[in-house]
């Protein structure tokens, strides 16, 4: 009941809402832009899957345009400098992996971690979004499941050869997600999104993906614990 009462008080035109939206909207736009580039980069590392990866990258570019429209619709200017800093560490790790030709690490960062983060954020946002953004986000989240699935299928097919690199990449990158969630917690709450719900949805998608790839429950528990330490 309290939850419902709070939700009905969201004022999409208030300065408080728009101020928080200027950062969250920028994060999403920057995330979609980086995802677009990440899929293009992975297309170079995986010539066999080039066409499919280019198709996924084009979807990310459409998502970016959709979320730019959401900001305009609310008369909000996204704070892109803030958003670039928000992604800087994860972005740096992806760039490093790409330069070293570590496709498994690239897939873990973009197709598992970032996609699971996107799925959590969009699922939690949809019920509290303004009507325009809700429609856009509903279309986008369906695509994000396709992206997560690409990573799952590829890594499942190459599981034994990828396992050790996946464990290392998880150890290095999952703590960043927790830092990022802590950083957005206040702004997300202003938009009606609870951190606990984001964490729960993220861990469900990420844990299910690890399970589908071939990790045991015990291994998934161990890998998930790296996040909690941040």
Candidates 34-42, 76-84, 129-137, 202-210; binding stretch for Fe ion (CB under 5 A): 34-42
Which residue, 81 or 216, has its beta carbon nearer to ligand Y39?
A: 81
Eight-class DSSP state of 199: H
CB of 148 to ligand Y39, least distance (A): 8
The site partner of 71 among Fe ion, ligand Y39, none (C-beta below 5 to 8 Å per kind) is: none
Q: What is the DSSP track for 14-64? A: SHHHHHHHHHHHHHHHHHHHHHHHHHHHHHHH-GGGHHHHHHHHHHHHHHH
- The residue from 117, 150, 154, 215 that contacts ligand Y39 (CB under 6 A) is 117
* Using rule CB under 5 A, residue 147 touches Fe ion: yes
- Determine if 26 is a binding residue for ligand Y39 (CB under 6 A): no
Return d(Cα 145, Cα 148) in angstroms, integer.
5
Does residue 121 bind ligand Y39 (CB under 6 A)?
yes
Query: Structure tokens of 197?
Result: 């719900």
**Shortest approach of ligand Y39 to residue 118 CB, angstroms?**
4
100 exposure class (CB count in 10 Å sphere: 0-12, 13-18, 19+): exposed
Residue 144 engages Fe ion in binding (rule: CB under 5 A):
yes
Distance CA 82, CA 70 (A): 18
Q: Is 41 in the site for Fe ion (CB under 5 A)?
A: no
Residue 106 within binding range of ligand Y39, rule CB under 6 A: no
Query: How many residues belong to the site for ligand Y39 (CB under 6 A)?
Result: 19
Q: Do residues 118 and 30 touch, judged by C-beta distance below 8 A?
A: no
Can residue 27 be called a binding residue for ligand Y39 (CB under 6 A)? yes
- For residues 25 and 76, the answer to whether their CB atoms sit within 8 Å is yes
User: Does residue 147 bind ligand Y39 (CB under 6 A)?
Assistant: yes
Under DSSP, the state recorded for 127 is: G
The Cα–Cα gap between 47 and 44 comes to: 6
Is the separation of the CB atoms in 60 and 32 below 8 Å?
A: yes
Footprint of ligand Y39 (CB under 6 A)? 24, 27-28, 31-32, 35, 60, 63, 114-115, 117-118, 121, 144, 147, 184, 188, 193, 198
Footprint of Fe ion (CB under 5 A)? 32, 35, 60, 63, 144, 147
């Amino acid at each position: 009941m309290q939850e419902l009462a709070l939700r009905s008080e969201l004022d999409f035109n208030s300065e408080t809402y728009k101020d928080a939206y200027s950062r969250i909207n920028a994060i999403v736009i920057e995330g979609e832009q980086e995802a677009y580039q990440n899929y293009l980069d992975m297309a170079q590392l995986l010539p066999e899957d080039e066409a499919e990866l280019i198709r996924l990258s084009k979807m990310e570019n459409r998502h970016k345009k959709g979320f730019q429209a959401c900001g305009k619709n609310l008369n909000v200017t996204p704070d892109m400098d803030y958003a670039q800093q928000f992604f800087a560490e994860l972005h740096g790790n992806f760039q490093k992996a790409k330069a070293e030709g570590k496709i498994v690490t690239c897939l873990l960062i973009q197709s598992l971690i970032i996609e699971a983060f996107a799925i959590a954020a969009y699922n939690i946002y949809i019920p509290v979004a303004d009507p325009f953004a809700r429609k856009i986000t509903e279309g986008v989240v369906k695509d994000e499941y396709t992206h997560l699935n690409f990573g799952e299928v590829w890594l499942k097919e190459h599981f034994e050869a990828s396992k050790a690199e996946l464990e290392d990449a998880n150890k290095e990158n999952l703590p960043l997600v927790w830092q990022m969630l802590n950083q957005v917690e206040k702004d997300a709450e202003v938009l009606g999104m609870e951190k606990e719900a984001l964490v729960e949805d993220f861990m469900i998608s990420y844990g299910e993906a690890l399970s589908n790839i071939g990790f045991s429950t015990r291994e998934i528990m161990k890998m998930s614990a790296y996040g909690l330490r941040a």
